[in-house]
Amino acid sequence: MENILPNLHLSDFDYPLPADRIAQTPLDQRDSSRLLVLDRAEHSLTHRRFTDLSEYLRPGDVLVLNDTRVTAQRLFGARAGHPDERLEAFLTERVADGLWQALVRPGKKWLPGSVVEFAGGLSAEALERTDERGGRLLRFSGPEGVYIEDVIAENAQAPLPPYIQTLLPPDNRERYQTVYADQGGSAAAPTAGLHFTPELLASIEACGVKIARVTLHVGMGTFRPIKTDDISAHEMHAERYTVSEEAAEIVNSAAGRIFAVGTTSARTLESAAIGPRRIAAREGETSLYVTPGYEFQVVDALVTNFHMPRSTLLLLVSALAGTEFIRQAYRAALEGEYRFLSFGDAMLIV
């Protein structure tokens, strides 16, 4: 926890988010989303398109991407004799073949020893509770002679956040991955990166901007709200990250500004910081909790989405842009009918 300003409460980071403002499906073209630009020096808001991002980048700037790949999976099934049930298993981490850590809903129907059946002859037994918020260790069984992980993958849905009710078609599951996703291990996509296309990235590089890739595997804690009104009492979940020698060299040699794509890239850079605008190549876990009062060492600018009320993500963007400026921007986005959360529109803080 770093430099939390006094007298800040979780209620200071609440706002009304109507259900119809939460984007349920992605746009057909990734970079056609809207972009709200927050200029901190001018204290101005400008409404643009994501394809305009390159206009805010200059030769010598560095754009930092999180190249994690989502490996979580989402299954729906029912207990034997209960065909009308819709039980959900959100598989977050594979422990061994057929053995997964998961979040389940509703938890009262996933008691240890219970068995849930899915399509394709697949079933899962709940072996034990792993926490009191729906965590379970599941052991899967399937048809003989078939690799169990293949059966799981064939019957799973894209692991969308719980606030998205519209499932992606099976042939469009990659839409919940960034185009540069590479290192498997995330429970959720780093959604600020979903707006980029290969063509946009190529045009940005052609302008003299360098691109660095880091990895932070997003954990399920990203979906769990802060429970205490005293924000200093919140315990941040730990997530695995990696900064390569190549990425550190690109960032440390930046002649211009350092743009983080997403709060995950920002937390990775700040976790690896060893001084002003310098990072070390390293890997490990970070539980860095960025709130208003935090002094950024590395990140100069941020590309991000619009976040849930009362979330650690909203606290982070408020730390960079200022709490009142973020309130003003979110009001403008709601009035301007921007799309919110994972499949929604984007914001640029410069």
Whether 1 shows a pLDDT value over 90: the answer reads: no
**CATH class of this structure's domain 10-70+174-349:** alpha beta
Q: CA nearest 262: which of 125, 68, 45?
A: 68
DSSP letter assigned to residue 253 = T
**What pLDDT, on a 0 to 100 scale, did the predictor assign at position 170?**
84
**What pLDDT, on a 0 to 100 scale, did the predictor assign at position 235?**
86
CATH superfamily assigned to domain 73-158: QueA-like (2.40.10.240)
Tokens of 184: 């498997």
Rounded mean pLDDT, 188-196: 97
CATH 3.40.1780.10 placement within the chain:
10-70+174-349
Residue with structure tokens 């965590």? 135
Whether 171 shows a pLDDT value over 90: the answer reads: no
Can you say how many angstroms the Cα of residue 145 is from the centroid of all Cα atoms in its chain?
36
CATH 2.40.10.240 placement within the chain:
73-158
Tell me the per-residue pLDDT of 29-45, one tens digit each, with 9 for 90 and over: 999 999 999 999 999 99
**What pLDDT, on a 0 to 100 scale, did the predictor assign at position 227?**
84
Question: What's the one-letter identity of residue 310?
Answer: R
Tell me the per-residue pLDDT of 298-350, one tens digit each, with 9 for 90 and over: 999 999 999 999 999 999 999 999 999 999 999 999 999 999 999 999 999 99
Tokens of 325: 């400026």
Confidence of residue 69 (pLDDT cuts 50, 70, 90): very high
Whether 6 shows a pLDDT value over 80: the answer reads: no
**What pLDDT, on a 0 to 100 scale, did the predictor assign at position 220?**
75
pTM, full prediction? 0.93
Confidence of residue 7 (pLDDT cuts 50, 70, 90): confident
Tell me the per-residue pLDDT of 193-249, one tens digit each, with 9 for 90 and over: 999 999 999 999 999 999 999 999 998 776 677 888 888 888 888 999 999 999 999
Q: In sequence order, what are the residues at sequence separation of 6 or more whose Cβ sits closer than 8 angstroms to the Cβ of residue 135?
A: 101, 102, 103, 104, 129
Question: What's the one-letter identity of residue 178?
Answer: T
